Structure formats: structure tokens, C-alpha cells
């Protein structure tokens, strides 16, 4: 996995409320079929804003801050079901007709939401990091979850961020450099949400029963320059859902370029 930077937060012009009372900030841009962009770990709606801008001439793109991030609220205790309810509330708020596009762990959330019955037309995902395709991946995810809980429980948000960056393969010297950078404070601010993404991934194993219950078309995308295990996970997603398609984007890594993925996503969601 590669780290997903927080990104600069766009102004969120709209707010809706999840069933548990959590306010969700979102922004809508463009015209055409609606697609909600679901960000991954260590990210806010600002991370997907560049993609929304590139989709705007063919799609109505919705960016939002997942709970516990940016301008959205947070309500304890956390449960994956609450994030699924968040997406249902957002679909309703933007007119009741939308597709989902989830990046990394956001893709895992999008798939869980569709399987749970959130009314969406289709789901596209980019490299959900199901670690059972990585040698020792399940053990690494289990150890990460334990250490993450300990760090967050002790209020050590910086250590939690470092754990995540280490999990993605970032070198120690780069993590040390990141701690000294201006972006570190923003990363620490969303550190508690790392536990949410860990819960969404549920140990990192491909959730075959969940995927088998997804009732809509799924496009699983990966990057041609990404590690083999991420490409294997993408192919497995397409095979595990009832109506899945797999596509590899040449020369792309886990940090996919908006200019590359936007036309593929617009074609899949029906943008003119």
C-alpha cells in the first residue's frame, strides 16, 4: 500500500446528517450521472477533489469528508455500519441515484455499502488492499491492528500515523522526515480514523461472502506499476462479485493520476 495524503480540503458547501446524528460535509460539482468519491485512509474529501474536477464535464462528482475527518462530525462508538449509513444518507441527499468510486480502503467501504443494500447503480474501486494476496499479509495486518489500537488508546496519534506509513512500505528515514514537515499536523488530526479503515478492511482478507452479495456492476481497477499483490486483489474482487470487470491502467501506481482514471470512470458510470 502507498500512503494516501490528506490533501488540501476544498470548501464543502453542503451538509447532510447520518441517522446517528453525525453531520457529513460534502460538495457537488459537474453535470451528468452522479458518482460519489470515497477516499481511503489518511485522507479527506480534498484528496478526491482533483478527480472530481476532471470528471465534472461528464459526471456530477460528489466529494465528502468521511466521519471523523475534515468538516464532518464523528459520533462514538464507531462501527462500519455507521459509515455505510453515511453513504446511504449521502446518496439520498444528492438525489437518490448515484454510483460509487472508492480508492484503496474506500473501495472496500464502497463494496460493503453496496452489499448492504445502499441503493447505488454501480461500484468502481481502485486497488482495495486485501492483504491475503501479500506474503504474510494477514499476519502483518493483525499486528498492525493491535499496535494501532495501542497507539490510539494512549493518545499517540503521531505513532499511529507512523505505523500506517510503515505498513505502506515507507522507509524509516522518510517517516522521520515526514514528522518534521508541515503536513504532519494534518495527518495526526485524522489519525483516529485509521482505526475506521482498519475495521472496514476487517483483517485485510478478501470478504468473499460480502462481495458475492453486491447486486450491481463492479469495475475493479489497478495500476500496471503497482505491486503484484494489489493487482491480484483487484482481479479477485472482479471474480468474486456477480457482475465484475477487471481493468489495469498502464504505468499507474497506488497513487493513480486523476487524468488517467477520470475517463475510465466516466465511461463506466455512463457520463456523456
CB-based contact 1:104 (threshold 8 Å): yes
CA angle in degrees (0–180, nearest 5) for 227-228-229 = 95
Give domain status of residue 124, yes or no.
yes
67, three cell numbers:
466521519
Per-residue pLDDT, 11? 63
Helix (H, G, I), strand (E, B) or coil at 191: helix
Give domain status of residue 158, yes or no.
yes
Listed residues 158, 173, 197: the one ending a domain? 197
Per-residue pLDDT, 272? 63
Give domain status of residue 119, yes or no.
yes
93, three cell numbers:
441527499
Would you give per-residue pLDDT tens digits along the chain (272 residues)? 444 444 444 568 899 999 999 999 999 999 999 999 999 999 999 899 999 999 999 999 999 999 999 999 999 999 999 999 999 999 999 999 999 999 999 999 999 999 999 999 999 999 999 999 999 999 999 999 999 999 999 999 999 999 999 999 999 999 999 999 999 998 999 999 999 999 999 999 999 999 999 999 999 999 999 999 999 999 999 999 999 999 999 999 999 999 999 999 999 998 76
CA distance 222 to 230: 7
Domain tally, the chain: 2
179 with 216, same domain: the answer is: no
- Residue 218 makes CB contacts below 8 A (sequence gap 6+) with 111, 114, 122, 123, 124, 125, 237, 238, 241, 243, 244, 245
Give domain status of residue 1, yes or no.
no
107: containing domain: 14-132+201-269
Task: Give tens-digit pLDDT for 36-59.
Answer: 999 999 999 989 999 999 999 999
222 with 248, same domain: the answer is: yes
Amino acid at each position: 500500500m502507498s500512503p494516501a495524503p490528506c490533501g488540501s480540503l476544498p470548501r464543502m458547501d453542503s451538509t447532510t446528517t447520518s441517522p446517528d446524528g453525525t453531520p457529513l460535509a460534502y460538495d457537488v460539482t459537474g453535470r451528468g450521472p452522479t458518482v460519489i468519491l470515497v477516499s481511503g485512509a489518511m485522507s479527506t474529501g480534498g484528496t478526491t477533489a482533483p478527480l472530481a474536477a476532471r470528471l465534472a464535464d461528464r459526471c456530477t462528482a460528489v466529494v465528502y469528508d468521511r466521519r471523523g475527518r475534515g468538516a464532518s462530525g464523528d459520533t462514538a462508538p464507531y462501527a462500519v455500519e455507521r459509515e455505510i449509513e453515511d453513504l446511504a444518507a449521502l446518496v439520498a441527499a444528492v438525489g437518490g441515484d448515484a454510483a460509487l468510486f472508492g480508492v484503496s480502503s474506500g473501495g472496500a467501504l464502497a463494496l460493503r455499502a453496496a452489499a448492504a443494500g445502499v441503493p447505488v447503480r454501480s461500484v468502481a474501486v481502485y486497488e482495495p488492499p486485501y492483504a491475503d494476496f501479500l506474503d504474510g499479509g494477514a499476519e502483518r495486518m493483525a499486528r498492525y491492528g493491535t499496535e494501532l489500537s495501542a497507539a490510539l488508546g494512549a493518545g499517540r496519534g503521531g505513532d499511529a500515523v507512523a505505523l500506517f506509513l510503515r505498513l505502506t512500505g515507507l522507509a524509516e528515514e522518510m517517516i522521520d522526515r515526514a514528522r518534521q514537515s508541515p503536513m504532519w499536523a494534518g495527518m495526526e488530526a485524522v489519525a483516529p480514523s485509521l482505526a475506521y479503515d482498519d475495521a472496514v478492511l476487517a483483517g485485510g482478507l478478501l470478504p468473499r461472502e460480502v462481495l458475492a452479495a453486491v447486486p450491481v456492476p463492479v469495475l475493479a481497477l489497478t495500476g500496471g506499476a503497482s505491486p503484484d499483490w494489489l493487482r491480484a486483489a483487484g482481479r479477485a474482487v472482479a471474480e468474486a462479485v456477480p457482475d465484475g470487470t477487471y481493468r489495469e491502467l498502464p504505468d499507474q501506481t497506488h497513487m493513480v493520476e486523476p487524468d488517467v482514471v477520470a475517463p475510465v470512470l466516466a465511461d463506466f458510470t455512463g457520463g456523456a
